[in-house]
Structure 1
Amino acid sequence: MKPEVKAELIAIGSVNIAPILLGRTTIPTAGPGAGKLAFFFNSNGHRVRLGINSDSPLQGKKENGELVIMKDGQEIARGVIEEELIHCPEQAFITMCEKCIFDCKFCPVPKLQGKVKTMDEMLSMIEKAHATGMMHAISITSGVEISPEQEVDRAEELIHKLREKYTVPIGVSVYPTKDSTRRLKDAGADELKYNVETMDREIFNKVCPGGGLEDVLAGLCEGVEIFGRNKVCSNFIIGLGETDESAMKGIEELVFMGVVPILRAASPHPLRKGEAFIERPSAERLMLLIRFLREKLDEYGLRADKFQTMCLPCTGCDLNPHIDM
């Protein structure tokens, strides 16, 4: 699958296909895609996660044991459906808390008000994933039920318990606090993700009224100091009204710090309709920005293909500039 084709699949984000043809499908509980039925499609080692939508311009059909994706009657991609472990293939990706007190206007999680997993539930899920023999990494993320400090406490405890039993890489993504980075590293985490969401300060203040971009950036800077280069990343949503120039400036600011940005296509959700400008970027725009990201990563000696946990090795929702390009 060429990067231009994957970009088009990400830009559309869904396919019209009968769910019965897909086997086991899942509903994400974290991020802008939360609450939507989805599956993983892999074509020659390039992976993309697609929603199921009867109104999609893409059509899917089974042919000789493969999934064929068509547009305007023409085949654009052919591959296989990948089985998820937890949230993505080959990783036990745990969402500790499916609630959030922050009211980011692009995110459905505060509206969905999901569950808060107990420590025993999370440990049991990971044990079952490990028993399959397919668990290559453990990733931990979370909303915020009561406070960021409480989520850091729980992540720290969970990582300590996991390190007593498992040797696979562990990645963690929570909202940063004044001491979270050191605590998570000392607990045994290998990789860190604090999400900026957008690097446009004006847009951030509108769409993330409860957060603080400068606090996140300070956490990322400290993360590079403590975890090291090619160990710290950040979700950067494209499609919240930022210009290409603004996005490129933000990309370079993060890369200069030693952080690898993950360019995530904005995903409009019906639960957030009318609350903010959200427009899924075109394939052309994604390619423009991912090429720029690749250029800057190479310039500053960073590698998006060195990560072992969370979104960068999964590649389902994003173009990885060193795997997909």
Structure 2
Amino acid sequence: MWTELKARLLHAGTTHLTGVSADDYIARSRAGPGAGTSGSVFFSMDGHRVRLSLSETSRVELHHAGNGKAVLRFEGEEYSGSLEKPGLHCPRQAYLTITGSCIFQCRYCNVWKNPGPRRSIDEIEAMVLSVFPDIDAISLTSGVLTDIHEEERYTLDVVRRLQKFQLPIGVSIYPDPETPYRLKKAGVSEVKFNLETATGQLFSVMCPGLVRGDAIAALRAAVPLFGRNHVFSNVILGLGETDEEMAACIEYLCQNGILPVIRPLTPGGDLTGFHAPDPDRIIRIARIHEEMLRKYGLDPTAALTMCPACTGCDLIPGRDT
């Protein structure tokens, strides 16, 4: 039941929050699907979770009865569960954005349209301290303030400061082919370099100015350093790719020891006229994803940080299926 319900919720994408005040359960983001929105909540049921953005006009209702207990009302059915308190951005992690602006203008992204400041290293340390020890991991992502090399150097300084917490650290930045080596040397546990699109042709349309081959080279270099199940790549579902193109991309990543994270499109940036993929397609691609993971001996449940450990925004085989 959960797989089908979560696929329908990911397609809906939003929820209207009612009942007792739930301020302690609302997460706000400067990057990813939640960037530029009024916040989101994580609904948990039977050990599974889904992230839903807040919207007064949503067709999904979450009624908070107090102390995190909640009832999800959707398509004429009710589901009892709970709201999870976020650490930073998501439950059990300090998942934060270093630089809240970007020189690139990926068409699906809100960050360049809603630029924010770069956080100081002292501020980042204080943010992690504010949720420590009630977290299991630290995850870092970032826009690009001036250029990718300066961004990486700053990220490495952040990582070195955060080693004091003795928690797994995951990092997702735009890489060059040598980035994995420098991140590993600094003490990073896992990395995520995003292909973003299922095909190179779509990438050239959606991510002008970026080079998809840089991410591919970095991903391939990262696997021997960080190990299988600890190197990830987001691929957005719903940008115009066919099922066959998505399946080929998933297989390419899996056969190279990389865990794909298949992210249903949240229409934003320049793509507000696009639609989120329908639930049947989300499930269909998840089944292909599951088959490829099994074929190449990969296991998302081994992930320690970032999106595969959270699962809120994606249908993750082995955790949701």
With the length of structure 2 as denominator, give the TM-score of the two structures: 0.95
Structure 1 partner of 2:5: 5
Residue-by-residue CA offset, 1:233-281 (whole Å, 9 max, x unaligned): 0111001111111111111111111110101110112x5356xx63201
For residues 213 and 138 of structure 1, what CA distance do their matches in structure 2 show? 26
The farther-off stretch of 307-316 and 170-179 is 170-179
Residue-by-residue CA offset, 1:60-106 (whole Å, 9 max, x unaligned): 2245863112224322x321011011111111112100101111000
Structure 1 residue 215, shift from structure 2 partner: 1.2
Structure 1 residue 55, shift from structure 2 partner: 2.4
Structure 1 residue 111, shift from structure 2 partner: 0.7
Counterpart mapping for 1:102-113 below 5 A = 102-113=104-115
Task: Please say if residues 99 and 143 of structure 2, whose CA atoms lie closer than 8 Å, have aligned partners that are also in contact.
Answer: yes
Residue-by-residue CA offset, 1:146-176 (whole Å, 9 max, x unaligned): 011111101111112222x122111111111
- Pick from 51, 54, 61 the counterpart of residue 53 of structure 2: 51
2:82 is equivalent to residue 80 of structure 1: yes
Counterpart mapping for 1:267-282 below 5 A = 267-269=266-268, 271-273=269-271, 278-282=274-278
Counterpart mapping for 1:95-244 below 5 A = 95-130=97-132, 133-163=133-163, 165-244=164-243
For residues 158 and 62 of structure 2, what CA distance do their matches in structure 1 show? 40
Structure 1 partner of 2:73: 70
Task: Please say if residues 17 and 64 of structure 2, whose CA atoms lie closer than 8 Å, have aligned partners that are also in contact.
Answer: no
For residues 73 and 318 of structure 2, what CA distance do their matches in structure 1 show? 27
Structure 1 residue 320, shift from structure 2 partner: 1.2
Structure 1 residue 179, shift from structure 2 partner: 2.1
For residues 162 and 75 of structure 2, what CA distance do their matches in structure 1 show? 48
The residue identity in structure 2 corresponding to 1:95 is: T
Task: Please say if residues 97 and 143 of structure 1, whose CA atoms lie closer than 8 Å, have aligned partners that are also in contact.
Answer: yes
Task: Please say if residues 32 and 106 of structure 1, whose CA atoms lie closer than 8 Å, have aligned partners that are also in contact.
Answer: no
Q: 1:124 to 1:216 in 2, by over 3 A?
A: same
Structure 2 partner of 1:306: 302
Residue-by-residue CA offset, 1:214-244 (whole Å, 9 max, x unaligned): 1111110011122111110011100111111
For residues 268 and 241 of structure 1, what CA distance do their matches in structure 2 show? 12
What RMSD in Å do the two structures reach over aligned CA positions? 1.6
For residues 302 and 10 of structure 1, what CA distance do their matches in structure 2 show? 24
Task: Please say if residues 241 and 279 of structure 1, whose CA atoms lie closer than 8 Å, have aligned partners that are also in contact.
Answer: no
Task: Please say if residues 107 and 271 of structure 2, whose CA atoms lie closer than 8 Å, have aligned partners that are also in contact.
Answer: no
Q: Secondary structure at the match of 1:18?
A: strand
With the length of structure 1 as denominator, give the TM-score of the two structures: 0.93
The farther-off stretch of 254-263 and 51-60 is 51-60
For residues 258 and 178 of structure 1, what CA distance do their matches in structure 2 show? 17
Structure 1 residue 203, shift from structure 2 partner: 1.1
Structure 1 residue 17, shift from structure 2 partner: 2.4
Q: Secondary structure at the match of 2:17?
A: coil
Structure 1 residue 178, shift from structure 2 partner: 3.5
Q: 1:224 to 1:90 in 2, by over 3 A?
A: same
Task: Please say if residues 232 and 259 of structure 1, whose CA atoms lie closer than 8 Å, have aligned partners that are also in contact.
Answer: yes
Structure 1 residue 31, shift from structure 2 partner: 1.6
Unaligned runs of 5+ in 2: none
For residues 70 and 82 of structure 1, what CA distance do their matches in structure 2 show? 17
Q: 1:124 to 1:56 in 2, by over 3 A?
A: same
Unaligned runs of 5+ in 1: none
Structure 1 residue 23, shift from structure 2 partner: 2.5
- Pick from 39, 42, 61 the counterpart of residue 40 of structure 1: 42
For residues 64 and 33 of structure 2, what CA distance do their matches in structure 1 show? 28
For residues 86 and 72 of structure 1, what CA distance do their matches in structure 2 show? 31
Residue-by-residue CA offset, 1:96-149 (whole Å, 9 max, x unaligned): 00101111000010010111001111111112221xx21211111101010111
Task: Please say if residues 14 and 53 of structure 2, whose CA atoms lie closer than 8 Å, have aligned partners that are also in contact.
Answer: yes
Q: Secondary structure at the match of 1:102?
A: coil
For residues 120 and 64 of structure 1, what CA distance do their matches in structure 2 show? 35
The residue identity in structure 1 corresponding to 2:277 is: P
Structure 1 partner of 2:282: 286
